[in-house]
Amino acid sequence: MSQQEVPRLKKGQVSTLGALVEEIAAMAPACDVVAFITSAIAYAFALTPLAFLLATLAMYLEVNTLYHLAKRHASAGGYYGYIANAFGPVPATISGLLYVLYQVTSTAAIPTYIGGAIIPAFLDYYYHIVLPSWLWLPLILVFVIVPITLAIIGIRPQITTLKFASLFEVTFLAIIGAIVIAKAPDNTLAVFNPFAWPQYAKDFAPYGGPAGALGLAMVFSITSFIGYGGSAPLGEEVEHPKQILRALSLGVFIVGAVLTEMAYGIVAGWGVNNLTALTNNPNPDVQAIPGIIVMGLYLGIIGSMGLFLVAMNSAFSDAVAMQSNAGRVYFSMARDNVIPKWFSKIHPKYHTPYRALTFIGIASSISAILTAFAMFAANGLNPIQALTTTTANANVLQALADTFEFLTTMALFGMVLTHFLLNTSLITLFFRLKEKHKDLLHAIFHILQHYIAPAVATGILGYALYASIWPPVLPETPAGIISIAFLAFATGYAIYLKIYKPHVLTQAGKKVNLWAEEGESSAKNE
């Protein structure tokens, strides 16, 4: 098929800044503060900053992986295209399906927690407004359907919307975090020492000690970066593929620093020796919004209301970016005939993959609703009770928090397994290239960048994956089992294509490569 016949997205729609804000928006740092840090504290207590530091370091190592892969491929396929060109079509097909899994479940998870737990808890705690329990349902749909509509309208309006919001978000978080740290009485580097907290020994025991508790907290610290690589599927729409390299690097450095700072600020601001008073607090509102409460204690209404509003905007921006990215990967796979061609249809007016985007929005909504009702049942509420009580019912907030944890764990599996394939792709690519080195220093850097860094990143991510399964804990372990079943399906489907439709896999992830079209060498010396 000629280049003219290959369906593709419109080039030149996104600048470097546009790709960067897409990257930041997809990671949704303010949402991470009010949702992921809160969930991590429930397991790691004072070690929560360490969990986020380790996750940040792992993601910094992943910058190395994506940087080198992105220098050789650029298309709407993102990770799927990287893996296809560096590793092969079977792992690429598996990664494409896993990518959509974790983008869909993450898109479903955040609005569930924001709409079902954060908003009710905030209004009840500060203004004594009790909401009907059914309100979580339309709120979830608003946080999914409205963003998908914006994503369909086009990338330019989307980037314009995200540009101010994302830059303001990270700036606001960095400032309020620094103020809280400056004022907090409990500043200590002991939060980065897993053996410095005997007072939490009983709390760590059910998870196998501090290492196990830290691992469970890393389920949430790592998935707070779930949108990392959000600029990769814009490979066809940027002015030049080099812009993706810059966005991938800058985005994770900015968000990683801000999240580690905020995790430390919330723990120090609450009191490093007083975190059981948070996790065991009889008021479910306190358990749901500790970050907002800490900001309110130190900064008044500017801190509490400011973080609440920024988190709402972050949830919206995240949904726009995540669904947009997942839709583009599905579009790329459909263009290659790996999944039904129906998904590759481009809107004649907006030049967006509207069918793939619509599917992602529907899948996210269904995932959120079905999981929520399953968690209601696990917390003793049948569907009628779940929709006819109020948010003052502690079981309602607990069920929606469990929904968030369940979906987040599934997102972790998809994300980590995809990054396993990315890291393996980098190692495979440079082993196959058999580069000649100028000198010893060049050889050392080659080994560090292309073998050791991806291996270390895989080890950190793998530990969090292991901790989510063992020892068994609800709702993480059941989510892990379902994710493994999905992996088996994705693997089986890829093998089916290899055996029965090998002609499809020969072009998987390779029909469009903007680097090749720009005349760049695909075997460039590092």
Alpha carbon separation from 59 to 55, 98, 161, 318 (Å, rounded): 6, 18, 26, 18
72, burial (CB in 10 Å: exposed 0-12, middle 13-18, buried 19+): buried
Closest CA to 32 of 256, 301, 233: 256
Amino acid at 11: K
- Read off the DSSP letter of residue 364: H
Angle between helices 394-433 and 453-469 (to 10 degrees): 150
pLDDT at residue 516 in the model = 43
Residues 309-318 as b/e (b if ≥16 CB within 10 A, e otherwise) read ebbbbbbbbb
- Read off the DSSP letter of residue 119: H
List 390's β-bridge partners, or say none. Answer: 132
pLDDT at residue 462 in the model = 84
Q: What is the DSSP string of 195-228?
A: TS-GGGHHHHGGGTSHHHHHHHHHHHHHHTTTTT
Assess contact for 38 and 288: CB atoms under 8 A: yes
Q: What three-state secondary structure class fits 350?
A: coil
Assess contact for 234 and 64: CB atoms under 8 A: no
Assess contact for 38 and 267: CB atoms under 8 A: no
CATH code that applies to domain 16-191+206-517: 1.20.1740.10
Closest CA to 76 of 271, 304, 244, 267: 244
> Dihedrals φ, ψ of 347, to 5°?
-65, 130
List 238's β-bridge partners, or say none. Answer: 14
Alpha carbon separation from 281 to 12, 359, 394 (Å, rounded): 52, 40, 12
- Give dist(CA 44, CA 200) in Å, integer: 9
Spatial neighbors of 169 by CB under 8 A, at least 6 apart, are: 24, 29, 30, 310, 313, 314, 317
pLDDT at residue 442 in the model = 73
- Give dist(CA 105, CA 32) in Å, integer: 15
pLDDT at residue 224 in the model = 84
Q: Cα-Cα-Cα-Cα dihedral of 517, 329, 61, 416, to 10°? A: -150
| Tens of pLDDT, residue by residue, the chain (526 residues) | 444 454 544 444 555 566 677 778 778 888 889 888 988 998 888 999 999 999 898 888 888 887 777 666 555 456 777 787 777 788 888 888 887 788 788 888 877 888 778 888 899 999 999 888 888 788 777 877 887 777 777 655 545 555 677 788 889 999 999 999 999 988 999 999 999 889 898 988 888 899 888 988 888 898 888 766 655 445 455 555 556 666 767 888 888 899 999 999 999 998 888 888 887 888 888 888 888 999 999 999 999 999 999 998 888 777 777 777 777 777 777 887 888 888 878 878 877 788 888 888 888 889 889 999 999 999 989 999 888 888 888 888 888 888 988 998 888 888 888 888 888 888 887 777 666 667 777 778 778 877 888 888 888 888 877 877 777 777 888 888 899 999 999 999 889 988 888 887 776 655 444 444 444 444 444 4
| Residue 374 in tokens | 């399953």
Assess contact for 511 and 6: CB atoms under 8 A: yes
Amino acid at 218: M
Spatial neighbors of 425 by CB under 8 A, at least 6 apart, are: 69, 82, 83, 86, 87, 91
Closest CA to 82 of 474, 445, 423: 423
Domain ranges of the chain: 16-191+206-517
Number of H helices, E strands in the chain: 23, 0
Closest CA to 331 of 20, 99, 19: 99
- Give dist(CA 27, CA 417) in Å, integer: 18
- Give dist(CA 202, CA 280) in Å, integer: 13
Helix, strand, coil shares of the chain, percent, nearest 5, are: 75, 0, 20
How would you write 250-319 as a 3-class SS string? HHHHHHHHHHHHHHHHHHHHHCCCCCHHHHCCCCHHHHHCHHHHHHHHHHHHHHHHHHHHHHHHHHHHHH
- What is the number of residues in the chain? 526
pLDDT at residue 373 in the model = 93
Q: What three-state secondary structure class fits 132?
A: strand
- Give dist(CA 133, CA 387) in Å, integer: 5
